[in-house]
Amino acid sequence: MRMRFSQHELIDLTKAWIAISVAFTVVLMVRGGGATFLGTSSVVIVAIATFILSAVTVGTGFLLHEAAHKYYAQKYGHFAEFVASDQMLLLALLMSPLGFIIALPGAVMISGMITRKQYGIISIAGPITNFVIAVGFLILFFTIPYPFVRDIATYGYFINTWLGLFNLIPVWEFDGKKILAWSKQYYFITLAVGLFLFFIVGRFLPF
């Protein structure tokens, strides 16, 4: 099935991707990290490389997470469109100099007669996508033994497992609340997978 995007939606996705990437770049730089694998003292070069790192890891995780929601919503015949939250994007940018952010860049708005099961499947697609991306970065870490690739893979792994777990929080409008309302079994299986990836498998990666 081919997904359909409106021009306004593409603008919102691009805006959210850039804002989140900038915010995470600032967080990494403030914490004394960033793209240190370059071996240069130039702050500008490190900042640019860190932005690319963030765009590839955080940005891709965010985009594919939202795309998964949209795909399954449209698969069920519902209208689905991502809408950025300018207030939350601004908050993320303002908080980033403090070394942490609240990443709620927006959401896929869905309309139509949606069953509880459909809502649960649409919701669970996001965190599962992040966990699959994390496994992809894990494979990258162990197959390409170059320091800069391993740095990208390590950060991509942890940020995507964290994004998946964060969205599984069963409150407010998070995915976790909708998944839990549909199926406790699938909710706790997905949560267990995320916790295993983050706390058990993650122990073998230098982060």
Residues listed for the chain: 207
The Cβ of residue 90 has, within 10 Å, a number of other Cβ atoms equal to 12
Reported pTM: 0.90
Sequence-separated (6 or more) residues with CB below 8 Å from residue 88? 102, 104, 105, 106
DSSP state, residue 76: T
- Given this model, what pLDDT does residue 175 score? 96
Verify whether residue 81 is a known catalytic residue: no
pLDDT (tens place) for every residue of the chain, 207 residues total? 678 889 999 999 999 999 999 999 998 888 776 555 555 567 788 888 889 989 999 888 999 999 999 999 999 999 999 999 999 999 999 999 998 888 789 999 998 889 999 999 999 999 999 999 999 999 999 999 888 888 889 989 999 999 999 999 999 889 999 999 999 999 999 999 999 999 999 888 876
- Given this model, what pLDDT does residue 22 score? 94
- Given this model, what pLDDT does residue 178 score? 96
Q: How buried is residue 91: exposed, middle or buried, by Cβ count under 10 Å (0-12/13-18/19+)?
A: middle
Residue type, 9: E
The token duo for 66 is 């939202």
CA distance 29 to 47: 7
- Given this model, what pLDDT does residue 41 score? 62
- Given this model, what pLDDT does residue 47 score? 86
CA distance 54 to 156: 8
The token duo for 188 is 């706790």
Domain locations in the chain?
7-202
- Given this model, what pLDDT does residue 68 score? 97
CA distance 70 to 82: 8
